[in-house]
Amino acid sequence: MEQTLIILKPDAVQRRLIGKILQRFEDKGLRIAAMKFMRISRPLAERHYEVHKGKPFYPGLIEYITSGPVIVMVLAGPQIVAVTRKMMGKTFGFEAEPGTIRGDFGISRTLNLVHGSDAPETAQKEISLYFSKDEMVEFAMCDEPWSIQKENV
Ligand code: CDP
Ligand code: MG
């Protein structure tokens, strides 16, 4: 099953939105494959956002993502990267469609509540930054036969 790395960023934690955001992912029928509550260190943030180094928003982004604790998780499911990106909405809250996480809960450019990997290959790289192999939990959800059709997902 495809995997993605999702982070509920410091503003989601501080604004007590963990439950509401997680509920959306649960409602969609996705499986949690790993999860932790942690504070992202500056070196880890710099590795995660390496592709943005040198961009004008980079210093503010590193400041923001290290400013308080976050929930980091691996979600698994069919087309999970595309599905979660759609659920998150466009990067800036003021552009994100209503009905998306960023569209419903925020209006900021930087403080946009949630991170989600942008491709399956990026996801694997990001997952390895946050989780060791033995932190990944292998199991099946009891409703999978009713929510995921094996032959054509
Ligand atoms: O998170 P997403 O993949 O949608 O966007 P990104 O282009 O990979 O940017 C990573 C993060 O940097 C965003 O989620 C924003 O928090 C922040 N950002 C920003 O503060 N200002 C920008 N002009 C672009 C991104
Ligand atoms: Mg990105």
Q: Say which ligand is closest to the CA of 114.
A: 1
Contact 109, 4 (CB under 8 A): no
Question: Is it true that domain 3-141 has CATH number 3.30.70.141?
Answer: yes
Ligand 1 center to 110 CA (angstroms): 6
Ligand 2 center to 125 CA (angstroms): 13
Partners of 114 in the β-ladder: 8
| Residues assigned a catalytic role | 115
Extents of the domains making up the chain: 3-141
104 lines ligand 1 (CB under 6 A): no
Q: What percentage of the chain carries pLDDT values higher than 90?
A: 94
For 65-96, the pLDDT digits (tens) are: 999 999 999 999 999 999 999 999 999 999 99
The closest of 78, 93, 66 to 29, measured between CA atoms, is 78
Burial group, residue 98, by CB count within 10 angstroms (0-12, 13-18, 19+): exposed
67 lines ligand 1 (CB under 6 A): no
Ligand 2 center to 65 CA (angstroms): 13
Best mutation site among 61, 65, 66 for ligand 1 pocket (most ligand atoms within 8 Å of CB): 61
109 lines ligand 1 (CB under 6 A): yes
For 19-65, the pLDDT digits (tens) are: 999 999 999 999 999 999 999 999 999 999 999 999 999 999 999 99
* Model pLDDT, residue 149: 72
